[in-house]
Amino acid sequence: MLFPLLLQSQPGNSIALFAPYILIAVVFYFLLFMPMQRQKKKTAEMLKNLKSGDVVSTSGGVVGTIVSVEPDTIVLRVKPDNVKLQFSRSAVNSLVLPENK
């Protein structure tokens, strides 16, 4: 019953029918996709700027100080025994900011 009514609709009506879908798509873009793109750029910039002496947290929860930086990997010194562990650069989640004492 609804299909014959849609076939008889006027051109102005068809635009009005798709307007809510277009609006939903625009809202999704601004609420979901733009923030994800910004976060990816921010993370890529942080990974590019890693240097020795930075304290970082990995995706596995390991917190350590960077000893050396290579193109694809980093070496972390982990407390308390100063064990050195090698990680992929992409395993780094965030920089740990030093506490002001």
CATH number of residue 60's parent domain:
2.30.30
Q: Is residue 101 part of a domain?
A: no
Q: Are residue 58 and residue 41 in the same domain, yes or no?
A: no
If one counts the domains in the chain, the total is 2
Supply the range of the domain harboring residue 66: 51-95
Q: Is residue 100 part of a domain?
A: no
Mean per-residue pLDDT over the chain, rounded: 86
Q: Are residue 82 and residue 67 in the same domain, yes or no?
A: yes
pLDDT tens digit sequence for 39-52: 999 999 999 999 99
Q: Are residue 35 and residue 70 in the same domain, yes or no?
A: no
Beta 83-88 vs 63-69: how paired, if at all?
Answer: unpaired
Over 50: is that where the pLDDT of 74 sits? yes
Three state DSSP letters for the chain: CHHHHHHCCCHHHHHHHHHHHHHHHHHHHHHHHHHHHHHHHHHHHHHHCCCCCCEEEECCCCEEEEEEECCCEEEEEECCCCEEEEEEHHHEEEECCCCCC
Q: Is residue 64 part of a domain?
A: yes
pTM over 0.75: no
